[in-house]
Chains A and B, each alone.
Chain A
Amino acid sequence: MEEKKVYTVSVYTENNIGILNRLSAIFLKRHINIESMTVSESEIDHVHRFTFVVIVTETLIRKVVLQLEKQIEVIGAFFHTEDEIIYHETALFKISTEYLYDEHIQNKLKFRRAHIIAITERYFVIEASGLKEDIDNMYQKLKPYKLLQFVRSGRIAISRPRMDISEVLKEISPLAPEGGINNG
């Protein structure tokens, strides 16, 4: 059996309504769970970037990426293993103010990319960022303090190898979009 690995899939698309549905349908039809997902603008004007994290075999991810790329409004799709990317996740922890002066909490915030971003009478909020494991660690450490709320972002990732997305765009259309929908 081929080994499953964590893959970060970056998909560059037109900024149109409904694309998320179209992309998630490709994962759905292959019965793949999406571990995390982030959508944002990209380095190219009017081009959006989806970042999916999935755990699958290499054979499967190759097929999935080709099927993603086949979608009309997808400009390019790429996949990378963990050591091919630099990535980050962010988490927010809401904790009762009674723990604010707890030494242990203060210690836990030291030496980590974590800091308090809001304090009120009733609660305070810690923001932490880092690798998935860093957030997992922080979560385990803060869990005993009765988390009022906890939320973490999807992964954002930059690939170490070049992604030739701008070249793809240039190759497809040396000029402005022709016959394409005006995305506004």
Chain B
Amino acid sequence: METLKKEVQETAAIKSVKMTGAEAVIRCLLEEGSTLAYGYPGGAIMPVYDELYKYRDQFHHVLSRHEQGAIHSAQGFARVTGKVGVVFATSGPGATNLVTGIADAQIDSTPLICITGQVGSHLLGSDAFQETDIIGISTPVTKWNYQITKASEIPEVFAKAFYIAKSGRPGPVLIDITKDAQFGELDFSYNKCVKVRSYKAIPKLNIEKVKEAAEIINGAKKPFIVWGQGVIIGSAEQEFKNFIEKTGIPSACTGLGLSALETDHPLHVGMVGMHGNYAPNVLTNQCDVLIAIGMRFDDRVTGNLNTYAKQAKIIHFEIDPSEVDKNVKTDVAVLGTVKESLVEIIQFVNKANHQEWMKEFHKLYEIEKEVVINEQLNPTKEGLTMSEVLAGINKETKGEAVIVSDVGQHQMIAWRYAKFTKTRSNITSGGLGTMGFALPAAIGAKMGAPDREVIAIIGDGGYQMTIQELGTILQTKAAVKIVVLNNSFLGMVRQWQELFFDRRYASTVMTNPDFVKIAEGYGISANRVSKREDLASAIKTMIASKESYFLEVVIEPESNVFPMIPTGASVSDIRLS
């Protein structure tokens, strides 16, 4: 992998220079400090690719093997760095292949700029070759989108796009550029955007609400915090820690909130949600005050809303006004950034500890440990469990790795068992649940954090959805570690079939290829493990590798992820078996 330039000097007032629209696109990206993009060329974006060639000393373009791979890589990069991910694709199929990633970024609030080529403006609407209405298609899944038909629009639109993508609650922006706008000339000068009049990125913090929230927290006997990705997106990890340590409140996270607080922190009581931990789910329905911080009460977190925390006063710290009262009715909503809100509220909350209440969490953890965790980590069965693989990785990496998980059983196991010591370490497709996310996202994560160990944890199903990205690894030498947990099933669907469809395994049995040979075909060292005694050394070898490495672990085929809140059930009805 080439070294990626991270710093770009802030240029003072730039003189206006004549150039083509295509060159202006690259210049805009450089002005925004972006020096890396993922993409795939094609007819309608060729003028921009020609400029990418000319600017190759300043701007690094990664050729993915499919546009979906490109956008997931950009997401991985954005999630691990907090910067805006950039993707290029051509018109028509190139653009439509981005759609899954755009929807994924929208629902998980990931800042992206997607640049698509478009047919010449004189051909718009004529069903020209590789023409598709990507503005129409992407509208419901973008934070903003815009079609450029004149070269002169480029600097202003890009400035606005970057501002929108990264400000407030971040999200994906798509810019569609007609081919004539790429060829056309403009007088280029660039001013960063700091405001869009119709867009309020961050609501003004209302100090009265902060005080109201503090008063409720100070009076609480059994307060409980659920935090989400907002803590990470808002770079508020330290403020969050200060807040919970002062108030002594037991805190659980959502799947996307993982890694904002180190797993071993004494106030970290696990993860809520469908396959979360027993204690935080059950005690959601016993707390007297529920403090939601930077999370959006997803249905996978709340289970049945009619029985969700009805006994509790709800305080919601949120940046997006449309999330307040959307799913769970709040008593006090504090609108603003997590960081600013926590900085304010910490002055008004009393120092406290809730040891008796905390004991409830410990008690229930012991039950979960006895019924679920012990058997997962020290199985009596012969077959390997996914959990012991995660435990092996924890041991080898000391919890310092970036864990990129795909979607399914292995993802739930990764969320449950991976240990985190650093923030931005759990890269995963949360809201959309996009199978095929992990391999390309891991490539982006590695490029965003080249000094960190990046391990993709993938099932045998999801792996084959974007397996072509092994080619991107071959070409870029991105040192991604790939762990495929192979149970020869679409495991999560199979689990539901077992539990709710009378074991009718409709289309979930997988006949898989020789994954080791495939990896080796792409020049990646590979190993397969099926025995417990070989696991530890195999993980050790993988971590020790300076290059990309593939490890397939053959998993007990019919094992289930527990605890589990069945769909429509209450969080407190979480099943341990």
Q: Is the CB of A25 within 8 A of B321?
A: no
The A49-95 residues at the B interface (CB cut-off 8 A) are 62-63, 66-67, 69-70, 72-75
Q: Is the CB of B322 within 8 A of A67?
A: yes
Residue positions of A touching B, CB distance < 8 A = 13-14, 17-18, 21-22, 25, 28-29, 62-63, 66-67, 69-70, 72-75, 169, 172-173, 177-182
Could you say which of B139, B159, B163, B195 contacts A21, with CB atoms under 8 Å apart?
A: B139
CB contacts (< 8 Å) of A181 on chain B: these are 146, 153, 156-157, 160
CB contacts (< 8 Å) of A28 on chain B: these are 140
- A-B residue pairs, 6 tightest by C-beta: A179-B193, A66-B322, A173-B197, A25-B140, A177-B197, A72-B144
CB contacts (< 8 Å) of B199 on chain A: these are 72-73, 172
B186-198 interface mask toward A, CB cutoff 8 Å, 1 = contact, 0 = none? Answer: 0000011111111
CA of A67 to CA of B321, assembled, Å: 9
Specify the main secondary structure of chain B where it touches its partner: mixed
Q: Is the CB of A25 within 8 A of B196?
A: no
Residue positions of B touching A, CB distance < 8 A = 135-136, 139-140, 143-147, 153, 156-157, 159-160, 163-164, 191-200, 320-322, 324-326
Q: Is the CB of B156 within 8 A of A182?
A: yes
Known: A180-B160, A182-B156. A63 touches B322 (CB 8 A): yes
Q: Would you list 17 pairs from A and B whose C-beta atoms are within 8 A, ordered by A residue?
A: A18-B139, A22-B139, A29-B140, A66-B326, A70-B321, A72-B199, A73-B199, A173-B195, A173-B197, A177-B196, A178-B193, A178-B194, A178-B195, A179-B163, A179-B191, A179-B194, A181-B146
CA of A177 to CA of B194, assembled, Å: 11
The residue in chain B whose Cβ has the minimal distance to the Cβ of A68 is: B322
CB contacts (< 8 Å) of B321 on chain A: these are 66, 69-70
Known: A172-B195, A172-B198. 14 other contacts (CB 8 A): A18-B139, A25-B140, A62-B325, A69-B321, A69-B322, A70-B321, A72-B198, A73-B144, A74-B198, A169-B197, A178-B197, A179-B159, A180-B197, A182-B156
Q: How far is the CB of A173 from chain B (nearest CB, A)?
A: 4
CA of A66 to CA of B322, assembled, Å: 5
Known: A69-B322, A72-B164. A172 touches B156 (CB 8 A): no
CA of A172 to CA of B196, assembled, Å: 8
CB contacts (< 8 Å) of A169 on chain B: these are 197
Q: Is the CB of A13 within 8 A of B194?
A: no
CB contacts (< 8 Å) of B192 on chain A: these are 179
Q: How far is the CB of B193 from chain A (nearest CB, A)?
A: 3
CA of A174 to CA of B200, assembled, Å: 13
CB contacts (< 8 Å) of B135 on chain A: these are 18, 21
CB contacts (< 8 Å) of A75 on chain B: these are 197-198
Q: Is the CB of B197 within 8 A of A172?
A: yes
Q: How many pairs, one residue from A and one from B, have CB atoms within 8 Å of each other in the complex?
A: 78
The residue in chain B whose Cβ has the minimal distance to the Cβ of A173 is: B197
CA of A178 to CA of B140, assembled, Å: 26
Q: How far is the CB of A133 from chain B (nearest CB, A)?
A: 34
Known: A18-B135, A18-B145, A74-B198. A63 touches B140 (CB 8 A): no
Q: Is the CB of B196 within 8 A of A179?
A: yes
CA of A70 to CA of B195, assembled, Å: 15
Q: Is the CB of B198 within 8 A of A14?
A: yes
CA of A74 to CA of B196, assembled, Å: 11
CA of A69 to CA of B147, assembled, Å: 22
CA of A65 to CA of B3, assembled, Å: 47
Q: How far is the CB of A47 from chain B (nearest CB, A)?
A: 9
CA of A179 to CA of B198, assembled, Å: 11
The residue in chain A whose Cβ has the minimal distance to the Cβ of B320 is: A70
CB contacts (< 8 Å) of B147 on chain A: these are 17-18
Q: Is the CB of B136 within 8 A of A21?
A: yes
Q: How far is the CB of B462 from chain A (nearest CB, A)?
A: 26
CA of A29 to CA of B326, assembled, Å: 14
CA of A22 to CA of B139, assembled, Å: 6
CA of A21 to CA of B144, assembled, Å: 12
Q: Is the CB of B200 within 8 A of A172?
A: yes
Q: Is the CB of A72 within 8 A of B196?
A: yes
CA of A180 to CA of B326, assembled, Å: 30
Known: A18-B135, A18-B139, A63-B326. A179 touches B200 (CB 8 A): no
Could you say which of B140, B143, B159, B324 contacts A72, with CB atoms under 8 Å apart?
A: B143
The residue in chain B whose Cβ has the minimal distance to the Cβ of A14 is: B198
CA of A74 to CA of B197, assembled, Å: 10
CB contacts (< 8 Å) of A14 on chain B: these are 198
Known: A21-B139, A70-B320, A73-B198. A179 touches B160 (CB 8 A): yes
The residue in chain A whose Cβ has the minimal distance to the Cβ of B323 is: A66
From A13, A18, A182, residue with most partner B Cβ within 10 Å: A18
CB contacts (< 8 Å) of B163 on chain A: these are 179
Q: How far is the CB of B159 from chain A (nearest CB, A)?
A: 6
CA of A169 to CA of B195, assembled, Å: 13
CB contacts (< 8 Å) of B322 on chain A: these are 63, 66-67, 69-70
CA of A111 to CA of B140, assembled, Å: 47
CB contacts (< 8 Å) of A180 on chain B: these are 160, 195-198
CB contacts (< 8 Å) of B146 on chain A: these are 181
Q: How far is the CB of A34 from chain B (nearest CB, A)?
A: 16
The residue in chain A whose Cβ has the minimal distance to the Cβ of B199 is: A72
CB contacts (< 8 Å) of A179 on chain B: these are 156, 159-160, 163, 191-196
From B146, B196, B320, residue with most partner A Cβ within 10 Å: B196
The residue in chain B whose Cβ has the minimal distance to the Cβ of A26 is: B140
CB contacts (< 8 Å) of B191 on chain A: these are 179
From A13, A72, A169, A178, residue with most partner B Cβ within 10 Å: A72
CA of A159 to CA of B135, assembled, Å: 33
CB contacts (< 8 Å) of B325 on chain A: these are 62-63
